[in-house]
Amino acid sequence: QVKLVQSGPEVKKPGVSVKVSCAASGYGFTNFGFSWVRQAPGQGLEWMGWISAYDGSSHHAQRFQNRITMTTDASTNTAYMELRSLGSDDTAMYYCARDRITVPGNKDYWGQGTLVTVS
């Protein structure tokens, strides 16, 4: 069955970077893409960006311009999201979600979430 397993919780100081991983199994890794979605405490879902595991093409939300890097590694079936220059408002649960291969669309499977605390 499809599974997305994310890396563990992180505590970071303001100004540094965090890199979250998302290990996929149970399907053809390069046949899909990944979206990264975060949720601040008590808030709604916020889409951060999408990457195709097929060709590495990507889109990201404008507010993360120059701060986010998304990558995939087909040799380990793992997607990564790095967020730089962390601030306290980046404290949130970060989710990876399986997405469409060519453009962002339905997010049909989700990881369990990675809590990132900036303090």
Task: Give the binding site for another protein (CB under 8 A).
Answer: 35, 37, 44-47, 50, 59-62, 95, 97, 103-113
Q: CA 106 to CA 26: how far, in whole Å?
A: 18
Q: CA 25 to CA 11: how far, in whole Å?
A: 27
Q: Which is nearer to another protein, 18 or 97 (CB)?
A: 97
Label the pairing between strands 18-25 and 78-83: antiparallel
Q: Are 61 and 47 in contact (CB under 8 A)?
A: yes
CB of 11 to another protein, least distance (A): 20
CB of 27 to another protein, least distance (A): 14
CB of 13 to another protein, least distance (A): 26
CB of 93 to another protein, least distance (A): 9
Q: Which is nearer to another protein, 49 or 86 (CB)?
A: 49
Q: Which is nearer to another protein, 15 or 60 (CB)?
A: 60
Q: Are 83 and 65 in contact (CB under 8 A)?
A: no
Q: Which is nearer to another protein, 45 or 74 (CB)?
A: 45
Q: CA 100 to CA 31: how far, in whole Å?
A: 8
